[in-house]
Each structure stands twice: as structure tokens, then as C-alpha cells.
A and B are shown apart, each in its own frame.
Chain A
Amino acid sequence: MKFLRVIFLLLLIALVWRGTQERAMVSRLQAEHETLIARCVAIGPPEKESEDAKAAARTSGRRSTAKPEAKQLKDELVAAFLRLKALETQTDPDSRLKVEKEVREWIGRLIDLSPKELKQVVEDLLDDGVLEPGDRRTLLAVVLSLASSRQSETAAELYLKHREVVGDGGGIFDAWGKSDPASALAWLEQNRESLGKDYQSNLKRIIMVAAARDPAIALAELSKIKDAKDRNSTERGLAMSLRDDGARAALLAELRASGLAEVDRAEVLRGLGSGQVGRLSQGPGAWMEALSPVEAVAVAEGVSKSMNSSAHPEAWFDWMGKSLPQELMEDTARPLLTKWINDDYAAAGEWINRQPPGDFRNASAANYARMMAKRFPDTAKDWANTLPEGPEKRRLLEEIK
């Protein structure tokens, strides 16, 4: 009987010992699993790449995907950052290309960080004794910003915890607001008190980037910005952030259904107009075809006052001519014309010269003459002389003389 007891005892010890080993392995595998899951989330759903994956699996051998420990990750990251900094004084093109390649790889690695790794890297960076405070701040902001494209909530929590050191958390909320504005806004509300004055600035950032994914939520959140000046700039900003006609049309539809006040509505429309102007834009977008006269005026104001240079100002004047009430055309179009004359007076002059006689041509010619007067007084006089006889012409000629 005693022999049996000894056997049982030994068996028990062996099982517990093996079980403990297995448990340690489970912990290690769990950490690896978390990292791999995070990475797979980043590369998209399996359906999207299943054919490619099968193709690759047919021909490729197994390759280790083991990632370095988080501690090692921080050391490597700091080393890479210092190499990047040294690049400022480096003129050898091959070295630059090498470091730029390394930076691209790092962007990928930081995007792939699991929540645990992200926390560890941030803690390690905070403890690092090599980096200067300014560099640490920069690097922390970069890490949190890149990692937040996937680990948004963890990045936001870390930002909240270490705000004093990290400084601006804008990159985190930009990324989160783009990918999941509802969650970003919910987190912001939960932490409103702790965020203090940073609540408003981050709210504005999220609203501005949210419009592309969820225009309804972006418009609904505007009421939380109490300061009218801040709200108006956010309204313009959210509309200007849109990249294509489809997104602009979606925002317009939501705007019409929203309960926003007229003044706020007009700011959004101005932002839509401003965002439509740019080097690559050929002119008015399809979403602008069915605007009401009130909407068209606000959009035209945005177009006309846009800071971007239009490659085709003439296309905008044509659209304004067709869409705006005649009595508003001159005032609304003036900023755009003024900018065009400043940027390229020759092309602007040729265009005005081609316009049919009428109030708009006269107003444009008078504007042109005034602007040319200082540098080209003779040309200005010639332009003033194209105006019909009357007090405006006399006054202009007097000014130029």
C-alpha cells in the first residue's frame, strides 16, 4: 500500500511540474497570440486576401514571425530615432535611403503593436535615460499616434495618464476619429473631467475628421462646442477635410436633414466650397448641381475665399454666373478674382477681356485697374478707359493719376 502511495505521490509531483511548464508556455503563447491577432486585424479580414494567402502558402516555406521583446523594441526604436535625427546632417544619399527604408519599416512595426507592447514601450520610453526630454516627447507622440490607428483606446488611455510628458495628443484622436468616431467621442465624454481644457480641443479634432466616415455624427456633435468662433472654424474644417465628391454629397444630404441653425449650416457649406478648390480640382463637383440659391451663395463664398489656388478660376466664375442671384455675383466673386489677379495677372486680364459687356465685366475691369495701378499705371489706365462713361470711371481715372 505504501508503495502505491509513493507512486501516486510521484505521479502527482510530475503532473504538477509538467502542468506548470505548460502553463508558462500558455502565457508565452497567449502573448504571441495577442500580437499576431493585432497584426492580422491590421492586414484586414481573411476573405480579402484568402486567395493570395493560399497562393503564398503553396509556394512559401514557414518563416519565423517571432517579435522582439517589448524592452528590446524600445531600445531598437530609440536607436532608429537617433539614426533618423543624425540624418539631418547626413548628405550621403545611400545612407538617407537606408534610414528612410528603416523608418518605413518602423511605421509598420508601431502600427502592429499589441496593447501590452504599446504600454510597455511607452513605459520604457518614459524611463529611458538616453533621450533628451524634447526627443522623448516627440518619440512618444509618434509611437502613440501610429499605434492609435489600431490600439486607439489604449493609446488614448496612455495619453491621458502621461499628458504632462506626451504633450499634444492630437495624432491619437485624429486616427481614432477617422476610424471609429463614435467610440472616440464616447471615450472623450467618459474622460471629460480628467481631460479638462484638452476636452474641447480633442473634441474639435475628432469632429473634423469624423465627417468622412460618419457625417451625421460629426454634425450632431457640433452643438457641444459652445464658443461660436470655435464652432464655426470646426464646421468649415470638417467640410474641408472631405476628399471626394461622394463624401461631400453625403455631408450635404446630412446637413439638409440636420437641425443646425442657418448660421452653422452656412459655415459647413462654406467649408464644402473651400475644400472643392485646389490644384487638382477641375471646378465644381457633381454635388453642386442641385444646390438651392441660399446654399449656392454660401458655397460660392467658400470657393471665393478659399486659401487654395485654383488651377481653373474661370470654371468657378462660370458656375457662379449660373448659380448665384445676379445682384450677389459681383461681391461674392470678388475675392476669387482678386486672388487670381494677384497670382497671375496676365491670365486674369485675358479672361476679363473675354467677358461679355455688362455689370460683372465692368466691376472686374475696375478691380483689375485698381490692382494694376501701383505696378503698371499705364495698363491700369487702359483698363479704366474700357469702363462706360460715368462717375465710377472718373473716380478710377482720378485714383490712378
Chain B
Amino acid sequence: MNPRALSWTDALLLLAAAGGVAFFTIQHRNAGNLAAENVGLSERIEAWEKRGEVAGGEGEAGFSAKSLLSTGPAGLAKFAAILLGAETGNPAAVRESLMLDGHWRTLDAATLEKMIADARASDLSEEDRERVEAKLLEVLVEKDPARAFAVIESGFVGKTPREIQQQFAERSGLFEKWILSDGPQALAWFDKQIGAGLFDSRSLAGTSSIRQDYESLIFLKSRDGSRIAALDPIDRLPTLQSWRFQSLKPQEQAAFAQVARTSGLKPSEVAEVLKPFLNRAIESGDLAGADAFFKRVEPTPEELPRLSEGAAGTAMFALGKKSDQLTGEEVPAIRTWLADKSPQGDSYIGSMIGKGFSNGWDAGQIYATIDRLQKDSPSDELIGSFLESASQGTKQKLDHSTAAELANRISDPAKRAAALNAIGGQ
């Protein structure tokens, strides 16, 4: 009897089952392979993360703080190489450096101090030594700031006063941490160093930029302005103009303005100190930002004209960048805004438009703007200061007939003569 052949239905079913087996087997094998690979990779990462502890505990080579200590100069060189790699953006080095950061923080102050001493005594290059020392000091100052600064001072042996000041400049970030963790102790140390002359000015200008930097840090953290008032008058303005204050938030600016006003500065100097905040408030040229700033800091009558002129100038130059708007309503609006705040407003507006001309803004638009302003409200000061300022430009020269026509609109004969003289001499 012949064996019965499979029907088409059975054959298809068998084939489908075989396909199912193959599909399952492939997926199962893939999952198995991937799982195995993942286990291997996980072990590698885990081992990498753990190697510090292990190496430190067993005295084997590795990257942990303890192992670096036990491997002496080679360990320090390895550490310096990691820090250099991290500086240059090598991802592996950044990871290693971050891991070491955690390890350093498990060490006690005495161990860190010894490591710094070892680094100083090593034959690392000056740059590598600095990398290692700076990193370890960063951790030491968190644990014992007084000790960290004693370590810094111990490195001053044989250094010139200028080198010591450069060293202090490098370590200002550590001082910032100290003020936060123990302000009175940090101030006592700082005053002791000032007494010893280490922060004395060595510059011909007579100001000590390093001391200014430290004083600004103290103010920033303590909010106590009394130290700034007690500074040598020559140091007060630069201290209050420190870059460190540029990021003060709007709500902090009123208190800062008050400190500036009680620091023995002239009103014009106070205005100079406040100008950067004002400029930030009207970055896009919107004078509403200036109004809000004035509401916050309440300028004195002496400060207001200078600050307002500064704001108008910033707004004018923002317009200059999109010069197609110079002929619109903006310049008259700025003029009106300034008129309430500065008696010299017209003169200032004229000179700013003149500066714009000097910078190469579209001459046709500028003449049209001056003409429009003059028709709105005639002003000798506006035209006079425009012509004086514009005649000093190097990027473009005034058209003589147009300039003369403008000068002849000045009603005061003396001012008219001065303007004609200015355009004649260009």
C-alpha cells in the first residue's frame, strides 16, 4: 500500500509550523545573544565603576584616590593625564575625572594635604602640578577651608609678591566657597593677609584688582556693603563694577544701588555702576524695561539724567541695527521719553544720531529723522550736537549743502556759527 501523500492543507500547515519554529528560534537566539552581550557590557561598566574601591583596597593599580596615593609619582602623573583629558573633552577622561571627584571626597583633610605636598614635590610639569593641586584644593576647601588656605600659603615660599597675587587670583573660587561655609573665619583670614600687605596694589593705577575681586565676592555672599565704603576711594568704583555683579537679579538691584550710594561714590559714578543693569533691562531697545528698572532702583535726581541718556542711547543703537525703523515713530518717542528725565535730552539725542551717522547708518534716513524731529519741536541743541558729532565720523562725510541747510535752522547765532564751523572743518 502506497503511503498516503499529505494533502495541500496539511502541507501548508506543516510549512507554517516550520516557519513558526524558525521565527521563534531566531528571536530566541537573538534575545539570548543580546542578553549575554548586555551582561558582559554591564559587567565591564560595573567593574570600571568599582575598580577604584577594589584597587584601593587591594593595593592594585587603578584610578581611585587610595590607589593613586599608593602608586606615588606614577599615580599623580596618571591623575594629571586624566584631568588634562577631561579638559580637552575626552569623554572617557571626563567620566574618570568625575568618578575620582567622588573618591577624593571620601578622603580626610590630612590625606588630601599630603597628596598636595606630594604633587608639589613631584617632577610633574608646572601645568600638570597646577591641575592636580587645584583639583585637590577644591575638595580640601570643602572639608577644612582654613587648612586649604594654609596649604596655599605654604606654597608662597620663594615666590614674588606678583606671583602670590596671581595665585590668589587663581584661588578666588575657593575663597568664595569659604565665605559660604564660614564667613567670619574667611573674613578674618582675608583681613590678616591685607594687614600683611599681600593684597596691596602693585599696579601703577594704584588699585589692586585682586583685592577688588575678593571684596566683590564678600559683598556678593554677605550682602554687607560696609567693607566697600571702607575701601580706598580709588578702589571703590572698580570693585562695584566687578564682572561678578553683572548677573545680579532684578530683585537684588535696589539693595545693590543703595550700597553704591553709601559707598562714597559721586552720583555720576553710581550711575556708571548701575548702567550695566539698565542696559540689560532694555537689551531689545524697549524703554519700558528702563522704566521698570527705574521703579526698582529709584534713581536720585542726580543719577536720573545720566541713566536716562544711557537708556536712550541703547534704544537708539538697537534701532540703528534695524535702520529701516529710524524714520518711524521710535526716535520721536525716545526723544519724548528722555525730555522728561534729562534737561540735556535734545543735545544727547542729536549727538547719538550723529554717532549713528559716523558709524555708517543710512544718511538719507538720518537727514529725514532730523528733519522730522525739528519739525515736531525745533531745537538748536538737537541740530548743533548732531552736526558736531556727525562731522567727526570717518565712515562717511556730511553732505555739505544738507549740513549747511540744517545749521542755518539754528536760531541762536553763536550756536549756529559753532555748527557751521564744525561742518566746515570736516
Contacts and interface: CB of A to CB of B under 8 A. Distances in A.
Contacts of B94: 107-108, 111, 149
Nearest to B209: A343
A347 B160 contact: yes
B324 to A, nearest CB: 19
A9 B47 CA distance: 48
A54 B62 CA distance: 12
Nearest to B247: A88
A39 B46 CA distance: 11
Given A111-B95, A178-B89, A371-B204, A29 B34 contact: yes
A212 to B, nearest CB: 7
A58 B203 CA distance: 61
A42 B47 contact: no
Contact of B89 (A22, A58, A93, A174): A174
B13 interface: yes
Contacts of A91: 180, 221
Interface string B124-147: 011100100000000000100000
Contacts of B31: 22, 25-26, 29
A281 B129 CA distance: 12
For chain B, what secondary structure do more than half of its interface residues adopt (helix, strand, loop), or is it mixed? helix
A270 B113 CA distance: 40
Interface string A35-59: 0110111111010010111111111
A40 B45 contact: yes
A96 B206 CA distance: 37
A287 interface: no
Most buried by A among B17, B23, B62: B17
Interface stretch (A12-20, A158-166, A214-222, A230-238): A12-20
A107 B42 CA distance: 20
A282 interface: yes
A104 B34 contact: no
B180 A19 contact: no
Contacts of B24: 15-16, 18-19, 22
A331 B70 CA distance: 53
Contacts of A54: 47
A231 B127 CA distance: 29
Contacts of A37: 41
B61 A22 contact: no
B362 interface: no
A65 B61 CA distance: 24
Contacts of B203: 342-345
Interface string B190-214: 0000000000001111100000000
Contacts of A58: 54
A223 to B, nearest CB: 26
B162 A40 contact: no
A8 interface: yes
Interface string B22-35: 01100110110011
A15 B17 contact: yes
A394 interface: no
B405 interface: no
B23 A311 contact: no
B130 A104 contact: no
A215 B105 CA distance: 38
Most buried by A among B9, B130, B161, B181: B181
A372 B94 CA distance: 48
A51 B92 contact: no
A53 B96 CA distance: 14
Interface in B251-275: none
Interface string A53-90: 11111111011010000000000000000000000100
Interface in B277-322: none
Contacts of A11: 17, 20
Contact of A53 (B47, B63, B99): B47
Nearest to A30: B34
Most buried by B among A15, A58, A150, A342: A15
For chain A, what secondary structure do more than half of its interface residues adopt (helix, strand, loop), or is it mixed? helix
A53 to B, nearest CB: 4
A192 interface: no
Contact of A55 (B37, B55, B221): B55
Interface in A270-287: 279-282
Nearest to A60: B50
A57 B21 contact: no
Interface string B54-96: 1100101111000000000000000000001001111110111
A186 B130 CA distance: 36
A141 to B, nearest CB: 16
A33 interface: yes
Contacts of A62: 42-43, 46
A232 to B, nearest CB: 21
B127 A5 contact: no
A143 B24 CA distance: 40
A362 to B, nearest CB: 20
Contacts of A19: 20, 23-24, 27-28
Nearest to B51: A52
A49 B102 CA distance: 19
B10 interface: yes
B189 to A, nearest CB: 17
B38 interface: yes
B98 A8 contact: no
A243 B126 CA distance: 12
Given A15-B17, A18-B24, A59-B54, A149 B202 contact: no
A379 to B, nearest CB: 11
Given A42-B91, A342-B204, A15 B54 contact: no
A65 B42 contact: yes
A346 interface: yes
Q: Which 9 A-B pairs have the closest CB atoms?
A: A15-B20, A22-B27, A52-B51, A56-B47, A53-B47, A29-B34, A36-B41, A19-B24, A44-B92
6 contacts: A8-B14, A12-B16, A22-B30, A55-B55, A174-B89, A342-B204
Given A8-B16, A65-B45, A88-B249, 5 more contacts: A18-B24, A41-B91, A60-B47, A108-B95, A347-B162
